[in-house]
């Protein structure tokens, strides 16, 4: 048996055959393809479309084929195009003609849609689990470094003091939204397309609900034409994965920056660093750089899938075979990146003296000085102006803000009093005392809530 050539008078051109084959990558669908076929065969037997005995024989054969694949003795044949044909051909070799009854009331169009949905459903679960592991790593590092202060940045300029834990929990929130996106896409993935046939449905008394139940699907598709041509669930995974990779890339970028001598906020564990082939002193954050670099794959794959779909007339078109490599690559890239980032984050060594030193340079309490004047009755705009001039003066003289005398402060506003010297990094943090702020007790609460969320699911 080679490709389906029933009505043709010639064999396929070798180039055409290799051009259309997908077995090199879609072999990965085998567990899903076999699970789907078993559920289908059982249903055919129950409905009397084939005999129960025939169904049993087919199911036994499919299980044996799965074992061959798992043991590595299965021979994948490119001339059989894809995983569906490879499995079916081997089934027929093993159980004889009756194996040819498996494809009753089915088309490869609904079969491949089913396989991809089963694959995507697992990929969603695995992404959510990997996201949780990274969230836990963030919570652990935040919890182990509760008192550590660092500069918060805007425009990559030191802006205001924040707790390192607060900064890390920002990533916890991003990942929380990622989890939400994956879970939400699951609702639209968890739909059984089988029974749609090539496109119009099938001319047999099938029982789709029972197949859905056996395969653990929430629903059956409501329109056969849509069911064989819908790949939205792959696009949703691809966009959730792209957004998630963007988050990971930002985290990675901060690890790269923070581990440089210029920042010196953290040290990447040796297990997650790489040396240079020429410069013996180098310790490079290659894992973080690759996480950042691989983000483009997810975006590119999403773009490929969107472009692949945009001009397709209903229903199935062979273009859609191109969904696989793009999707598999996104899944592999995302899961590997989440995994390695969890390891890298959980082994980061924070350097609290360094981060505290950075907080002391760059007049990070200027906003607090303006707020001080506001509390003494100054409108914020003119308070901002007075402090800006004060900062310029301190900078000119190479002094810190608390290195100026009260008389000097008063040159910029008569509202300054002795109590201005009670403004400190600690008072600045503590003042941001509301939900979402960096006050230590708020961060403590946020940390406790984050832990609770991790424990409750
Ligand atoms: N390998 C094909 C794919 O991935 C399976 C469906 C083939 N259907 C067809 N009508 N040729 O899309």
pLDDT tens figures, 308-339: 999 999 999 999 999 999 999 999 999 999 99
Q: Which residues line ligand 1 (CB under 6 A)?
A: 22, 82, 108-109, 112, 316, 318, 320-321
The mean pLDDT of 222-248, rounded to a whole number, is 98
Contacts of 103 (CB under 8 A, 6+ apart): 88
Report the candidate in 23, 177, 7 with the shortest Cα–Cα distance to residue 89: 23
Residue 319 pLDDT: 98
Q: Which of 318, 319, 324, 325 to mutate to test the pocket of ligand 1 (most atoms within 8 A of CB)?
A: 318
* pLDDT band, residue 1 (cuts 50/70/90): very low
Residue 193 pLDDT: 98
165-187 confidence digits (pLDDT tens): 999 999 999 999 999 999 999 99
Report the candidate in 37, 123, 28, 126 with the shortest Cα–Cα distance to residue 70: 28
* pLDDT band, residue 2 (cuts 50/70/90): low
Based on the residue annotation, tell me whether 434 is a catalytic residue of this protein: no
The mean pLDDT of 137-146, rounded to a whole number, is 98
Report the candidate in 98, 59, 85, 83 with the shortest Cα–Cα distance to residue 1: 85
* Beta bridge partners of residue 266, listed in sequence order: 350
Quick check: 348 pLDDT over 50? yes
Residue keyed to tokens 């119009």? 200
Quick check: 201 pLDDT over 70? yes
The mean pLDDT of 370-394, rounded to a whole number, is 96
Cβ–Cβ under 8 Å, residues 245 and 295:
yes
Residue bearing the CA closest to ligand 1, atom 11:
318
Q: How far apart are CA 419 and CA 433, in angstroms?
A: 20
Cβ–Cβ under 8 Å, residues 432 and 438:
yes
From the list 18, 260, 276, 424, the catalytic residue is 276
The mean pLDDT of 201-211, rounded to a whole number, is 98
When the pLDDT of each residue in the chain is averaged and rounded to a whole number, the result is: 96
* pLDDT band, residue 401 (cuts 50/70/90): very high
The span from the first CA to the last CA of the chain, in angstroms, equals 50
The mean pLDDT of 390-407, rounded to a whole number, is 94
Q: Which of 80, 87, 109 to mutate to test the pocket of ligand 1 (most atoms within 8 A of CB)?
A: 109
Q: How far apart are CA 422 and CA 402, in angstroms?
A: 10
Quick check: 440 pLDDT over 90? yes
Residue 253 pLDDT: 98
Residue bearing the CA closest to ligand 1, atom 2:
321
């Amino acid at each position: 048996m080679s490709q389906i050539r029933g009505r043709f008078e010639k064999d396929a051109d070798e180039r055409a055959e290799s051009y259309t084959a997908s077995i090199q990558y879609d072999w990965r669908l085998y567990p899903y393809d076999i699970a789907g076929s078993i559920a289908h065969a059982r249903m055919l037997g129950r409905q009397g479309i084939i005999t129960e005995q025939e169904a049993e024989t087919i199911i036994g054969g499919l299980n044996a084929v799965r074992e061959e694949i798992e043991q590595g003795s299965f021979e994948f044949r490119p001339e059989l195009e894809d995983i569906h044909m490879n499995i079916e051909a081997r089934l027929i070799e093993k159980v004889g003609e009756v194996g040819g009854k498996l494809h009753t009331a089915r088309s490869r169009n609904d079969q491949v849609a089913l396989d991809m949905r089963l694959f995507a459903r697992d990929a969603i679960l695995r992404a959510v689990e990997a996201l949780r592991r990274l969230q836990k790593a963030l919570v652990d590092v935040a919890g182990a470094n509760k008192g550590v202060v660092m500069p918060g940045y805007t425009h990559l300029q030191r802006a205001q003091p924040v707790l390192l834990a607060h900064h890390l929990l920002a990533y916890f929130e991003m990942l929380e939204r990622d989890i939400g996106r994956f879970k939400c896409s699951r609702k639209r993935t968890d739909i059984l397309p089988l029974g749609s046939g090539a496109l119009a449905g099938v001319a047999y008394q099938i029982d789709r609900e029972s197949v859905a139940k056996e395969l653990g699907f929430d629903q059956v598709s409501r329109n056969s034409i849509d069911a064989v041509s819908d790949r939205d669930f792959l696009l949703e995974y691809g966009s959730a994965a792209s957004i998630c990779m963007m988050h990971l890339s930002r985290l990675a970028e901060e690890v790269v920056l923070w581990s440089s001598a210029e920042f010196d906020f953290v040290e990447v564990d040796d297990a997650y660093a790489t040396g240079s082939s020429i410069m013996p002193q180098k310790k490079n954050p290659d894992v973080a750089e690759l996480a950042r670099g691989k983000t483009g794959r997810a975006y590119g794959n999403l773009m490929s899938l969107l472009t692949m779909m945009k001009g397709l007339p209903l229903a199935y078109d062979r273009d859609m075979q191109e969904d696989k490599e793009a999707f598999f690559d996104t899944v592999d890239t995302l899961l590997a990146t989440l995994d390695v980032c969890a390891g890298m984050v959980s082994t980061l060594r924070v350097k609290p003296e360094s981060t505290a030193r950075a907080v002391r340079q760059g007049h990070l309490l200027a906003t607090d000085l303006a707020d001080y004047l506001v509390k003494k009755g100054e409108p914020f705009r003119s308070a901002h102006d007075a402090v800006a001039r004060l900062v310029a003066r301190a900078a000119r003289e190479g002094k810190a803000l608390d290195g100026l005398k009260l008389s000097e402060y008063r040159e910029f506003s008569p509202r300054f009093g002795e109590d201005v010297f009670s403004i400190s990094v600690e008072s600045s943090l503590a003042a941001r005392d509301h939900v979402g702020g960096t006050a230590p007790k708020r961060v403590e609460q946020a940390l406790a809530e984050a832990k609770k969320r991790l424990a409750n699911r």
